[in-house]
Chain A
């Protein structure tokens, strides 16, 4: 994938092993799978899980990008961002679950009507 194959820093001689790309690609694939499920799944819990899969995909891309830096020590900045991202995603999941609970209590089933 073009996106991650052109590291911005470091000259070619000190470039790290490009093995991190497989993780970045896996992350993009997870993101795509999650988004597809979000679009096609009707069940609300499955859609929340789909969002979590998308999020994990994004985090995997970030972690892989941390390996772009030359040398044995990975770049900590994307890792710090992932930590923030995880906190946000836990909150989002909690909010979504609470809301689904309320919707179910109001509607009596887990699938939204067409009048949504």
Chain B
């Protein structure tokens, strides 16, 4: 199988499955499992080809830029596809029982629409990570936004619908800012193809305006502080598997496009000042999100604010990877943190779903003794928390360690301070939840039973968030393929 086939399978399988799941609702569960299997194989194959032969490209129907659609997979694309596939498989498994275990006709009605929308979301993500031009990225970004908003609206409650509408307004206006920027780039460069833009290496005031518009739109979609306001109500009010998809995957799409724009297409515009501004917003997100997480009354809101904070870490990649020394270290560290966060956050939202299901609510102060009822889920929450805090040997640790080393090698100590403070705050909000969970109660309430697969997937992802730390050398090698940032990874030694 050539790489062209692998890329086509990655996009077409979930798309066709989504259409079939809509037409034949009874087949939804099996279609999702089948899709998960095909995508797993296709991603593995594409990864092997990228490792063996470098960057893979395919012109759809033989039409090249500017009119045709070009698919392109480098190390970064493949890493994003792998993360998407891991989370996708987990959600496909978890949701086999999630809706049906509510024993409620409305839940079954939601499940009918969940499967096609979930598969459509998967299509959008795969297409986004394989697109090689900034206009197709716009189209995939819109597909992603539509699927995400509709999935959130599935919850059907007033809070969820209001959050969905607000999310839709933010998402649509942000897309139009991005689209206007794309137009101005085309007006300047005569192309929207990423490799051609990189080859032109242009700069100038008009491109500054274009890039500012695109960046503004993308950071609103990625919920970077101070444009994060829509995220907590959206992520906290969705059904559990949807919360996990939104937090683990959806906000990563626009972040990925920002990396492509600033590091690949227009590196000349990435001045130290720009890099520091991204870093400062990221740092503000870490502190603001963490402090807010600490004071949330509901578990799902706590996890959602934790997402605001963890997204901040990703933006520290900008000031740290833009520098020559240790640039690649920060690049791979930031992207490993992205994968770590995706696994840990999915595990947490699925755990919260189990708790909500068993206890009927997610008010943290009333969750005393929940560990007696759901020991596996609480253990999963703790493991995922370990990765979020960045304790060794978790993948969160591996990513943060690389970022810290890069910051120290470059003498940018202020980011080190922010990262350490963020870790302490993360420890505080996770321990706050665990303290309640482990509080002894005399008469534990009889909970609703939780299907084993729902606890199992949460635990599997939490374990993954920990053990993926051991795969970090391999992830760094993958990221090296076609990376816009080069340099060695020097671990340890340089720490004072």
Contacts and interface: CB of A to CB of B under 8 A. Distances in A.
A7 B158 contact: no
A107 B158 contact: yes
Given A3-B209, A3-B210, 14 more contacts: A8-B188, A9-B190, A38-B169, A44-B165, A51-B172, A61-B180, A81-B183, A84-B139, A92-B172, A95-B149, A99-B164, A103-B158, A106-B157, A116-B165
Contacts of A33: none
Contact of A103 (B135, B161, B182): B161
Given A65-B183, A95-B149, A99-B153, A51 B176 contact: yes
Contacts of B67: 77, 80
15 contacts: A2-B205, A2-B209, A3-B187, A9-B190, A61-B183, A62-B183, A78-B183, A91-B142, A102-B161, A103-B162, A106-B157, A106-B158, A112-B165, A116-B162, A116-B163
Interface in B401-459: none
Contacts of B183: 58, 61-62, 65, 78, 81
What band does the interface of chain A fall in when counting residues whose beta carbon is under 8 Å from B? 35 or more
Nearest to B187: A65
A38 B206 CA distance: 26
B149 to A, nearest CB: 7
B133 to A, nearest CB: 10
Contact of B162 (A35, A58, A92, A113): A113
B161 A81 contact: no
Contacts of B190: 8-9
Nearest to A103: B161
B179 interface: yes
Interface string A27-44: 010010001001000001
Contact of B146 (A9, A44, A58, A95): A95
Contacts of B233: 116
Interface in B306-352: none
Given A99-B168, A116-B162, A54 B176 contact: yes
A52 B135 CA distance: 19
B161 to A, nearest CB: 5
B166 interface: yes
B253 to A, nearest CB: 16
Contacts of A38: 169, 173
B55 interface: no
B22 to A, nearest CB: 15
Interface of A: 2-4, 6-9, 28, 31, 35, 38, 44, 47, 51, 54-55, 57-58, 61-62, 65, 68, 77-78, 80-81, 84-85, 88, 91-92, 95-96, 99-100, 102-103, 106-107, 112-113, 115-116
B472 interface: no
The 4 lowest CB-CB distance pairs between A and B, nearest first, are: A65-B187, A106-B158, A116-B162, A103-B161
Contacts of B189: 8
A86 B169 CA distance: 17
Contacts of B166: 112, 116
Contact of A8 (B135, B142, B187): B187
Contact residues of B: prevailing secondary structure: helix
B187 A92 contact: no
A4 B187 contact: yes
A100 B173 contact: no
Given A80-B67, A95-B149, A95-B168, A3 B176 contact: no
B33 interface: no
B150 interface: yes
Interface in B41-96: 66-67
B203 to A, nearest CB: 13
Contacts of A2: 205-206, 209
B186 interface: yes
A103 B160 CA distance: 9
B184 interface: yes
Contacts of B205: 2
Contact of A112 (B162, B182, B210): B162
Contact of A54 (B66, B153, B158, B173): B173
A51 B180 contact: no
Interface in B179-233: 179-180, 182-184, 186-190, 204-206, 209-210, 233
A64 to B, nearest CB: 9
B304 to A, nearest CB: 15
A47 B209 CA distance: 25
A106 B161 contact: yes
Nearest to B167: A99
A107 B135 CA distance: 37
Given A4-B187, A35-B173, A116-B163, A88 B206 contact: no
A107 B157 CA distance: 10
Contacts of B165: 44, 96, 99-100, 103, 112, 116
Contacts of B164: 99
Contacts of B168: 95-96, 99
Nearest to B206: A3
A78 B186 contact: yes
Nearest to A93: B172
A26 B188 CA distance: 19
Residue of B149, B173, B189 most packed against chain A (CB within 10 A):
B173
